[in-house]
Structure 1
Amino acid sequence: MKKRRKMLSTGIMATMLAMPTMAFANETNVNSSDININLEKRSVIYGDTSKISISFKEDLKANSITLNYLCYDQTLSTTLNYNPQTKSYEGTINFNIDPEYLNVWQIENIVVNSDENAQTLDKSKLKEMGLNLDDYKITQEYIVSDLPSMANYIQRTSSPVKKLVGSDNFETAVKISQEGWKNGSNKLVVINGDKVADGITATPLAAVHNAPILTVGQNNIPDVIKNEIKRLNPSEIIIVGGTNTITTSVQNQLAGINNARVSRIGGVDRHDTSLKIAQAMDNQYDVQTVYLAEGFKGDIDAVSIATKAGQDKQPVILTEKYKVPTATYNWLKNEGLKNAYFIGGPETLDTKVIDQIADITNVASGQSVYKNRVYGADRNETNAKVISKFYPQANLNAMLVARSDKLTDALVAGPLGVKLGSPVLITPQIYLSKYHEANLDAKNADMVYQIGDGMRQSVIDDIAYRLSPHNAGSKTVVVDPGHGGSDPGTSNLEKDYTLDTSLSTTEYLRSKNVNVVLTRDTDKYITLAERSSISNAMGADLFVSVHFNSFNGQASGSEVYYKYKDRNGGTSKTLATNILNSILSKFDFKNRGVKTRTTDSGQDYYSVIRRTDAPAVIVESAFLDNSSDLSKLNTLEKRKTLGVQIGKGIEQTLK
């Protein structure tokens, strides 16, 4: 069992941040002709359970089935026994694993335990049966429960992080090689890590040969590199760069390590080297697409595209600012190019280069290479735009992260990114570049690799948090179902009605890419102070407490309370107005307005408004002791509709 960690409270996500808990009656089921699953919960707290039942159209002729859930490399298995009365397999998933990272569990397979009809229904088979596996993900969340304050010690949810960090550039390259090529490699590419241009063009070459990149000095080979070459045991070592980059003496030393054949690809300059690499790649994969960057100032931009070029098995071409070198142009015009991309802005790569390439590129009808320039204000924005354009998928196998001021790490990471089908993100070592936020908030990754040293831990933590499949977006809203547990609220209905409504609000907001923290997702008691503390610990953008009213059956309607300090205008008043208007647009309740209430000393009267740092409101949705109001909320579907309307008011405020 992994050791639990104490986390700082500022800006971190809560135990209840996830899809809402769903009872069987509330769960959206797959009404397939072949399989139907009822899942009690889509979010559980550490040590909790989730009931599940599965029914099949076909008689499986089995007394039990085994359901396997997988999270990263951890498996949860549970046996579901057949209930002849319900004609379904029923059981409980026990979440008895203490996770180190965020746990989003996904159905891996269902094993039919039968002598007559034994079989394993894997993901492909379940999809064929009509099952949308995403509907049955379960998020396991937990807090450090042996510490006194829940709000101050909340486990941050994040994708797992693996550090490939050596004591220097050479050892970092070795750790990357060991991660991606555990069983050795038939080929190996060697560069001088101080020569960025050669490293950029080497990544696609390494990809063609499914080879790692190791670094050496101009005149020496560190022992850690020699040992890694022995482990890899390549039959061929390819040096990238001329003898002024890696000397003949080093070449001879490489040949003597394990008697591998050593070849060299190097030109008279970096432009010529990139051409020779492209020609070598063309012997393995027909060059139809090229990625061009200026060979000096633009080599920084080209770092961002090297991994994508490697995945396509297409070359990175280094060019001059105003023209493609003659030898390179003459070769490319005979290659039958179908596409080209230009990495870098006009200050490094003139439009004249695009003109030249456009003349020799036969793009598909309706397309134009002039639309294929990608660049930003600096190297970080260019990197972000490359990731956005060339990695549009929401789900990534990994995100590799390296410093943007130390490009050697990003270079040697390229071949690993190729193997993983994943980008290399570069960012300053002490903060996350603002240009990366949109990408990170829109994507999730199964793993974050830190490449190289010197990166501030908070930067890696922020990236891993944003890439968690658990977290939806950049905005966080705390939804607080009023009362609960031993505190039933008004008319003995309020605690249940607030939970039903809040779960619906949560589901709506998460569908709109908003993070939602629920102060409670079951019928349990939470103090007023804890509710505010959770919001403050989260650094929430908004806090919404859901309630219902009563007054001897005589009063009716909806009203929303907001912070007194915003009485002349402010976010909490705007939030209150938007929520109330949204409710009244769907429900024929009396409009009781948006209000403030204070103590004699002028403080906000309500504790959760007074103690919560974020703009906070209390929604008094209706009067449960009024027969007219109650009739509009007396079914679960009506309360779900109310929750959606509250969610729409919150959504409008966040825009």
Structure 2
Amino acid sequence: MAALTVRGTPPGVVVRASACALAVASLALVAVTTTAPAASAAPASTSRWWGADRYATAAAVSKESFPQGARDVVVVSGARFPDALAAAPLAAQLGGPVLTVQPGDLPEATRAELQRLSPAVIHVVGGTSAVSEDLFRQLQPLASQRVERIQGDDRYGTAARVATTSFADASEVVLASGEDFPDALAGGAAGAALGSPLLLSGRDALPAATRSALTALAPSRVTLVGGTSVVTPTVVAQVKQALPSTAVVRLAGDDRYATAAVVARDTWESVPSPLLASGEAFPDALAGAALGAPLLLARRDCLPAATVTAYKDLGVRDVTAVGGEAALSEAALAATPCR
């Protein structure tokens, strides 16, 4: 498979070519699954990016990844996931971090990191129920040029707006459920690496805003992340109807952990230094996904079988946890298998 090195990912990480490089001309639906057994795969070294809470953890990830500051910063709710899901590929596209806020309050850790980053533009993703107008005004003195809001009528419209305004030339689109976060986080990390936006779907129907965005973007490949229990074949049929010449590839495992592992295998040919985040909450994983680095998921106190197997298959050597021990214990970071 053709490969390219993506700027901003850990050294040695190799990512597959985008859909246009694959020259997919005909419609196809490919299901990729994994059921490999677990085995011991302790990494050679581990590290941790974390803060006292989800807001401080996002700030810590930003500080580690953007030590010289950033022109563009994406700000999303750290309390509600729906509007935030599309933020990871956007931040990667802009070359900046994702920081999180409370709906009506600017956490001190986020404020301090914005002051350090000294951005020209702050991009707020989500409507006023996610990031209030008062908080929007609090952000304005922290950007040298402007603060702008990207939003739609709902989570689907917000993701569609991000995609059509910032990814007009994307040859691949990632599609995941908008009703829960785990598959969208794994898909967002892949999209961040590939320069692909993340669009959201309902379980049984493609929302009108998503359909319109797909038609406008006309990608060569749609990568559907998640099994048939979260996005049914009816949605696939609707994507095919909207894009009859586009390849549709479903990446799915038995659960959220296996799906993240499948996405990593599809996107990266080798993953010596992945990020590891909790599969049980979204904020820490979102901050990591925005880096365009391989993202694998864990339970708090152990590594699920699919993640253990992915360590072996992808040649994992060094692992960085995103989040404190309340989210990921040292046992999980040390690749202790779940029993």
- Give the structure-1-normalised TM-score: 0.43
Q: In 2, distance between residues paired with 1:315 and 1:305?
A: 9
Amino acid at match of 1:434: A
Matched, 1:278 2:163: yes
Q: In 2, distance between residues paired with 1:171 and 1:383?
A: 25
1:188: which partner in 2?
Answer: 73
Q: In 2, distance between residues paired with 1:258 and 1:333?
A: 34
Structure 1 residue 209: Cα displacement: 0.3
Structure 1 residue 377: Cα displacement: 2.4
1:426: which partner in 2?
Answer: 297
Please give the secondary structure, in 2, of the residue aligned with 1:198: coil
After TM superposition, list the pairs within 5 Å mapping 1:162-241 onto structure 2.
162-241=47-126
Structure 1 residue 326: Cα displacement: 1.9
Structure 1 residue 157: Cα displacement: 8.0
After TM superposition, list the pairs within 5 Å mapping 1:389-468 onto structure 2.
389-391=266-268, 393-394=269-270, 396-416=271-291, 418=292, 422-445=293-316, 447-453=318-324, 454=326, 455-462=328-335
Measured on the aligned residues, the alpha-carbon RMSD in Å equals 2.3
Contact 2:163 2:213 in 1 (8 A): no
Structure 1 residue 259: Cα displacement: 4.0
Matched, 1:377 2:254: yes
Q: In 2, distance between residues paired with 1:424 and 1:201?
A: 16
Q: In 1, distance between residues paired with 2:294 and 2:59?
A: 20
2:133 to 223, 226, 248: 248
Contact 1:339 1:361 in 2 (8 A): no
Q: 1:158 to 1:328 in 2, by over 3 A?
A: closer
- Residues 33-67 of structure 1, C-alpha deviation per residue, up to 9 Å, x if partnerless? xxxxxxxxxxxxxxxxxxxxxxxxxxxxxxxxxxx
Please give the secondary structure, in 2, of the residue aligned with 1:252: helix
Q: 1:378 to 1:308 in 2, by over 3 A?
A: same
- Residues 470-528 of structure 1, C-alpha deviation per residue, up to 9 Å, x if partnerless? xxxxxxxxxxxxxxxxxxxxxxxxxxxxxxxxxxxxxxxxxxxxxxxxxxxxxxxxxxx
Greater RCO (CA < 8 Å, at least 6 residues apart):
2
- Residues 319-347 of structure 1, C-alpha deviation per residue, up to 9 Å, x if partnerless? 12222222331342243321111112222
Amino acid at match of 1:165: W
Contact 1:192 1:245 in 2 (8 A): yes
2:171 to 280, 288, 293: 288
Q: In 1, distance between residues paired with 2:128 and 2:286?
A: 20
Contact 2:186 2:289 in 1 (8 A): no
Q: 1:359 to 1:447 in 2, by over 3 A?
A: same
Specify every segment of 5 or more residues in structure 2 that has no aligned partner in the other structure, as ranges: 1-9, 12-40
Q: In 2, distance between residues paired with 1:323 and 1:179?
A: 40
1:345: which partner in 2?
Answer: 227
Amino acid at match of 2:209: A
Structure 1 residue 173: Cα displacement: 0.6
Structure 1 residue 445: Cα displacement: 3.8
Structure 1 residue 291: Cα displacement: 1.1
Q: In 1, distance between residues paired with 2:56 and 2:153?
A: 30
Contact 2:155 2:178 in 1 (8 A): yes
Q: 1:258 to 1:208 in 2, by over 3 A?
A: closer
Amino acid at match of 1:208: Q
Q: 1:202 to 1:288 in 2, by over 3 A?
A: same
Q: In 1, distance between residues paired with 2:42 and 2:128?
A: 49
Structure 1 residue 304: Cα displacement: 1.1
Contact 2:74 2:97 in 1 (8 A): yes
Structure 1 residue 430: Cα displacement: 0.8
Please give the secondary structure, in 1, of the residue aligned with 2:83: helix
Q: In 2, distance between residues paired with 1:232 and 1:446?
A: 30
Amino acid at match of 1:189: V
Q: In 2, distance between residues paired with 1:331 and 1:178?
A: 33
Q: In 1, distance between residues paired with 2:49 and 2:329?
A: 14
Runs of 4+ in 1 over 4 A off after TM superposition: none
Please give the secondary structure, in 1, of the residue aligned with 2:190: helix
Structure 1 residue 403: Cα displacement: 1.1
1:263: which partner in 2?
Answer: 148
Larger radius of gyration: 1
Contact 2:252 2:259 in 1 (8 A): yes
2:204 to 319, 322, 325: 322
Structure 1 residue 353: Cα displacement: 1.3
Q: 1:195 to 1:157 in 2, by over 3 A?
A: closer
- Give the structure-2-normalised TM-score: 0.82
Q: In 2, distance between residues paired with 1:330 and 1:237?
A: 26
Specify every segment of 5 or more residues in structure 1 that has no aligned partner in the other structure, as ranges: 1-71, 74-155, 467-655
Contact 1:192 1:218 in 2 (8 A): yes
Q: In 1, distance between residues paired with 2:245 and 2:44?
A: 39
1:388: which partner in 2?
Answer: 265
Identity over aligned pairs, percent: 26
Structure 1 residue 359: Cα displacement: 2.9
Structure 1 residue 442: Cα displacement: 2.2
Contact 1:159 1:446 in 2 (8 A): yes
Contact 1:281 1:314 in 2 (8 A): no
1:503: which partner in 2?
Answer: none
